[in-house]
Amino acid sequence: MKRITESDLLGLAESLVRFGKANGAEEVEIGIGDGREFEVDVRQGQVENLVEAGSRSIGIKIIRNQKTAFASSSDLSEETLHRLIKNAILRAGLSSRDEFAGLPSPSSIRIAPQSLDLYDPEVARLDSQAKVRLALETERIALADKRITNSHGASFSTTEAKSVLANSNGFSGEYDKTYCSLSVGLQAGDTDHLVEDFWFSSETHFGSLETPEEIARTAVERTVRQLNPRKIKTQRVPVIFEPLRTSGLLGFLFSCISGVAIYQKASFLLDKLGQPVGNDKITVIDDGLLPGKLGSGPFDSEGVPSQRTVVIEKGVLKNYLCHTYAARKLKLQSTGNADGNSVSPNNFYLEPGMHTPQEIISSCQKGLILVRTLGHGLNPVTGDISRGAFGLWIEKGEVAYPVSEITISGNLGSLLNDVEMVGNDLEFRGSICGPTIKVAEMLIAGSD
Amino acid sequence: MRTAKAFRPIVFEDHFRISLRDLQRILEIALASGGEFAEIFLEYRAYNFINMEEDIIKETAESIDLGMGIRVLSGEKTGYAYTNDLSFDKMKKAALSASAIASSPSPVSVADLRTAVLDHNYYRLEIVPHQVPLENRIDLVKESYVACQSFHPSIKKVKAGFQSQIQYMTIANSEGLFVSDARPLIKLTCVAIAEKGKLREFGFSGGGGRVGLEYFSTKLGPAQIGKEAAQEAVRLLDARDAPAGEMPVVLSPGHAGVLIHEATGHLLEADFHRKKTSIFWDKFGKKVGSSQVTIYDDPTIPAFRGSYNIDDEGTPPRKTLLIEKGTITGLLQDRLSSEIMNMPMTGHGRRQDFTDIPIPRMANTYIEKGEYDPQEIIKSVAKGFYADKFQGGQVEDSGKFTFSVSSGYLIEDGRLTSPVKQATLIGTNVDILNKIEMVGHDLEFSLQTGTCGKEGQDVPVTDGCPTLKITKMTVGGLT
């Protein structure tokens, strides 16, 4: 078995594009991912797992007569790759002709990867012992708090990833990205009255990570504030979403404005371009060009340059997020959100407002701060939301006590119109993020 | 045990091309700096996918996953490394990385590898998918698609997909175990969207398992799958919003197995017990639920998605009694937890693929049938909620769990009345297990399409249960 030993992955991708063309494909796209991963999990002061690995995978897209076939492999032997390409060319013949299929047209825009500042050499330089110490330190600080009764452990992980892409329309590009993450999960209370939560920080640059001290303190605070929860009666009240919960809501919004969901008619935001879908406090952006941010990159998985796209502007739906195929179906332009066969967010966020989280809480006579949710219960076709929830009850503008074993329900469509206040506390903790928001009213189901 | 008729591939020689001697040397390198146990997991997975939407076969896909994971155990520590380059040098490098957690000289020497031959086979594979021309597999997808689309004029969008894979795996460990398996898995699914005016609703169905294509002519036809998806979407067009608040809940047989999966299964995974994070960790041998509740996890049910001949550590699995008449009697064990807890392995050490460390997981989890007639159960409820179809659920170690109902009915005066849509139900497991008031005699299993996620690893599972009545539970509807 001949193995590919070239370290020149871009050269490999380009040669496979040529191989596909030579064997009868009209259009060929080859993407290669090459990653080095490290993860350490510690628990109760001991290393539990230590994982170190390198892996590569390759994705292949073949189009012939407007018929598409995909293939992928983590076996990079020439024999396997050539067989997969030949198979894909044959299989494409069995797909149906689809006038919308095809690679993106060449673009004159080229974004220099360096301008995005996504690679931190310090992440690559960190030695294993230093990484283990970070995780141990984080957990040690958290467990020193007497209110914490057990630990799910702390983890530190790093990834160095190279993304390579070449296609038969002449695109050829690559970029490197680093990722690091430090987290800890905790429990408080006795076995029959456990509460739990976690905190984390993840960044492209090691220097931007929160310190073990900050992460441990936040995790402890988030956990113990849920101790001794009460059940509340079924009622309608204002609900404040903490930033992580706003992010969750935005994740659901993303699944409803993805061009794929739109052409599949699987979204309640179908046929709503140019129309108000929320009130004027709602401005949602997808931006793949923010330097140093987790969701940034110079181009998407089809080689379309990243861009900043206004999705909702002061409540009006401006754009769906599309890859080339969805865009052609909808007679729109690709927004540079291709991720293989699906559409993914770059940095997808709700623009912050002016209020501090404290002002938002003070504005509530009675209400719920949503701190965690459990379960699924999101339906993009209708926009309906129904989830298990944990929260903090507010009375007279102050946190009164924690509540649990409740559900919250509502509809994303109405919710976007019912946002009364938007916080100023936006942080880019992942590729989807939002600040604190207050929603006028949602239905809380609890006890009788 | 019955052996497979048509398909018994030679895994190791065909796919990994490594000598037994080299594997032995890699294991020796892995234990050279200490540790008590080393294990190599080799995987070659061939996967195929066909997707039909908008009346056309939109695309097909083929994927090959090849790689090796190696782990070293030292006390409670696990060192793990993986690579998709199976050259001796890369495997050796991985072995050295995995051994980094060990520091003292190993007391263990690597035993000679001896080939273990399995005398059982839980897969039911006669017509091997990838040996059938792609055209014939495409026909299955089309049949399902057309049946769904033509079910009712309100069906406006259909999506049908067929996935098939074979996972070839070989496990070699420092105790001398050398064992291979080839796990088949197929899944045909159909999604329907129905429209009426501005209303739009969604329906889903599917089938498959560790079976061959004969399944679709003998067990569940593609047309039936399409029809079921359409039926659900159409029914929801006339459904009203679910109620909100605490009320008696009756769960339909089969699909409601997700309740057992979330409310008890996860919390009986042994890793959460040795770490004392599960609400159940101090309740082994204690009564935690109603005497009507008996729960098993059985990875040996023939043809089921969650079944396997060996787990991902090479252990033949056992049907495991988890809860007997309300009392915890068993845990789902993998090698590490069973070692630490000094309990027998049950064959529940599973991993998503070679990049993952095996952990205790469920396979096919179900609540044993009871004595009540399902009709009698519904009749016993004056006003309540009947949960029919489910989307999935989630649980945390404190025992708080949710599951999402995609469609159900109101129960009024002992009868099912208006259809209702989406609601999330929430409870605490010990509380709900004690409130299981009636268990039906109609044990059924969920669709053969389920996947369970834990610590970022997805594995195929099945759940089952008879009709159940819960005295009172919080329903999170919209009205």
Residue of chain A nearest B244, judged by CA positions: A445
**Looking at the predicted structure, is the pLDDT value of residue B1 above 50?**
no
Residue of A nearest to B86 (CA): A75
Q: What is the spatial distance between Cα A212 and Cα B390, in angstroms, rounded to a whole number?
A: 40
Residue B57 to residue A446, Cβ atoms within 8 A: no
CA geometry: angle A311, B58, A253, nearest 5 deg = 20
Q: Which residues of A touch B261 (CB under 8 A)?
A: none
**Three-class SS of A24-89:** CCCEEEEEEEEEEEEEEEEECCEEEEEEEEEEEEEEEEEEECCEEEEEEECCCCHHHHHHHHHHHH
Q: For residue A174, what are its two tokens? A: 């690559």
Q: Is this prediction's ipTM beyond 0.95? A: no
Domain ranges in chain B are: 11-237, 244-476
Yes or no, beta carbons of A74 and B100 under 8 Å apart = no
Nearest CB among B79, B392, B395 relative to A376 is that of: B392
CB-based contact (8 Å) between B14 and chain A? no
Cβ B409 vs Cβ B243: under 8 Å: no
Radius of gyration of chain B (CA): 24
CATH class given for the domain over A113-164+175-224: alpha beta
Q: Where are the alpha helices (DSSP H) in B330-427?
A: 335-341, 374-379
Q: If pLDDT is split at 50, 70 and 90, which confidence band does B393 have?
A: confident
Q: What is the mean pLDDT of residues B297-314?
A: 98
Residue B159 at interface with chain A, using a CB cutoff of 8 Å: yes
Could you report the per-residue pLDDT of B75-95, keeping only the tens digit for each? 999 999 999 999 999 999 999
Among the residue ranges B1-15, B36-50, B78-92, the one predicted with the least confidence is: B1-15
- Measured distance CA(A22)–CA(A82) in Å, rounded: 11
Mutate to test the interface with A, among B397, B424, B452, B475 (most CBs of A within 10 A): B424
- pLDDT at position A355 is 98
Residue B8: the pLDDT is 55
Cα separation, B294 vs B367, in Å, equals 6
Query: For A72, which of B63, B276, B357 is closest by C-beta distance?
Result: B63
pLDDT of residue A5: 44
Residue in B254, B187, B182 with CA at minimum distance from that of residue B215? B187
Architecture of the CATH domain B11-237: 2-Layer Sandwich (3.30)
Using CB atoms and an 8 Å cut-off, which of residues 286-325 of chain B contact chain A? Answer: none
Q: Are B282 and A191 inside 8 Å of each other by CB?
A: yes
CB pairs under 8 A between A and B: 260
For chain A, say whether B393 makes contact (Cβ under 8 Å): yes
- Return the domain boundaries, chain A: 113-164+175-224, 229-448
Query: Considering Cα of A183, then A185, then A188, then A193, what sign does the dihedral take?
Result: positive
List, for residues B318-336, the tens digit of each pLDDT value: 999 999 999 999 999 999 9
Per-residue pLDDT of chain A (448 residues; tens, 9 = 90+): 344 444 699 999 999 999 999 999 999 999 999 999 999 999 999 999 999 998 899 999 999 999 999 999 999 999 999 999 999 999 999 999 999 999 999 999 999 999 999 999 999 899 999 999 999 999 999 999 999 999 999 999 999 999 999 999 999 999 999 999 999 999 999 888 899 999 999 999 999 999 999 999 999 999 999 999 998 999 999 999 999 999 999 999 999 999 999 999 999 999 999 999 999 999 999 999 999 999 999 999 999 999 999 999 999 999 999 999 999 999 999 999 999 989 999 999 999 999 999 999 999 999 999 999 998 888 999 999 999 999 999 999 999 999 998 999 999 999 999 999 999 999 999 999 999 999 999 999 998 7
Residue carrying the six token digits 């490290």 = A38
Rounded to a whole number of angstroms, the distance from the CA of A58 to the nearest CA of chain B is 10
pLDDT at B386 over 70: yes
Tell me whether residue B441 is exposed, middle or buried, using C-beta atoms within 10 angstroms of its C-beta: 0 to 12, 13 to 18, 19 or more.
Answer: middle
B-chain residues near A87 (CB < 8 A)? 62
Answer whether B200 touches A (CB < 8 Å).
yes
B284 CB near a chain A CB, below 8 Å?
Answer: no
What gap in Å lies between CA B12 and CA B42, rounded to an integer? Answer: 9
DSSP summary character for residue B100: G
CB contact under 8 A, B64 and A264: no
A340, closest residue in chain B (CA to CA):
B61
Contacts of A445 in chain B (CB under 8 A): 244-246, 474-477
pLDDT bin (cut points 50, 70, 90) of residue B10 is low
Q: Say yes or no: B197 contacts chain A, CB-CB below 8 A.
A: no
Predicted pLDDT at A448? 76
State the SS3 of B202-214: EEEEEEEECECCC
Query: Residue A168 corresponds to which tokens in the numbers above?
Result: 């038969």
Residue-level pLDDT at A6: 45
DSSP code of residue B269? B
- pLDDT at residue A247, rounded to an integer: 97
In angstroms, the CA A137 to CA A131 distance is 10
pLDDT digits (tens, 9 = 90+) for B257-291: 888 998 899 999 999 999 999 999 999 999 999 99
Chain B nearest CA to A38, separation (Å):
9
In the three-class reduction of DSSP (H, G, I as helix; E, B as strand; rest coil), residue B466 is classed as coil
Burial of residue B127, with CB atoms counted within 10 A of its CB: 0-12 exposed, 13-18 middle, 19 or more buried: middle
The secondary element (H helix, E strand) that includes residue B408 is: strand B400-412
**Separation CA A317–CA A268 (nearest Å):** 12
Which residue in the set A80, A193, A445 is minimally distant from B244, CB to CB?
A445
Q: Has residue B5 got a pLDDT over 90?
A: no
Shortest Cα–Cα distance, A387 to chain B (Å): 6
Nearest Cα to Cα of residue A386 among A446, A445, A435: A445
Tell me whether residues B425 and A43 touch, CB distance under 8 A.
no
Measured between beta carbons, the chain B residues lying within 8 angstroms of A91 are: 60, 62, 134
Percent above pLDDT 70 for chain B:
97
Per-residue pLDDT tens over the stretch A7-57: 699 999 999 999 999 999 999 999 999 999 999 999 999 999 999 998 899
Q: 């976007």: which residue's tokens? A: A416
* 3-state SS class at B173: strand
Strand partners, A154: A42, A184
Within a 10 A sphere around the Cβ of A210, how many other Cβ atoms? Answer: 18
